[in-house]
Amino acid sequence: MQELDDQRYGLFGWREFHNTRRAILAEFERAKGYNQSRPVRTEHGVAGEAALRQWLSGFLPEKFGVTSGYIIPDVIAGDYKLYHFDIVVYDKLNSPVLWTDGDFDRSEQGKKRAIPAKHVYAVFESKASLTSQSAQAAIGKLAELNSLRAKSEITSLGVAA
């Protein structure tokens, strides 16, 4: 199997990229196994999100910040709900951080930061298991950002499984 992977990812950089993908998945599986004896099994999702944020932080140029947190519109409509998003990519050089909540995964990227919408480039929701129900919930949550998207710099919305 390893030889097939080596042939498939033979171009410069792709083998390393594939190895990083395997490391992220291994961390997720490690946390998932650790979770088996727990009554509420959420640790693997948090570990997967943290691994993705850490990878993105090292992969993207320094001008981009990667965090979990909240997206704050410039003008709040009466019915806007403040959602927590798993992965937010923002302009680290120009964006103020309106507030910071706890550091639950013990990394800089794990801090929940409130970022103004006009400084957000991308938002991802990470799901430990992708079901139609979890996908619909994530898509609905991301759809709330559509009203902000027209007024801001948010360029990409996604769901990572």
- pLDDT, one tens digit per residue, over 30-58 is 776 666 665 554 554 577 788 888 888 88
Dihedral of alpha carbons 17, 18, 20, 24, sign: positive
| Six-digit token string for 10 | 């033979």
pLDDT for the residue 153 = 46
Residue ranges making up the domain that contains 88: 2-160
CA dist., res. 126 & res. 28, Å (int): 12
Q: How many domains are there within the chain?
A: 1
pLDDT for the residue 6 = 55
Dihedral of alpha carbons 100, 102, 104, 105, sign: positive
- Distance between start and end Cα atoms, the chain: 23
pLDDT-derived band of residue 159, with 50, 70 and 90 as boundaries?
very low
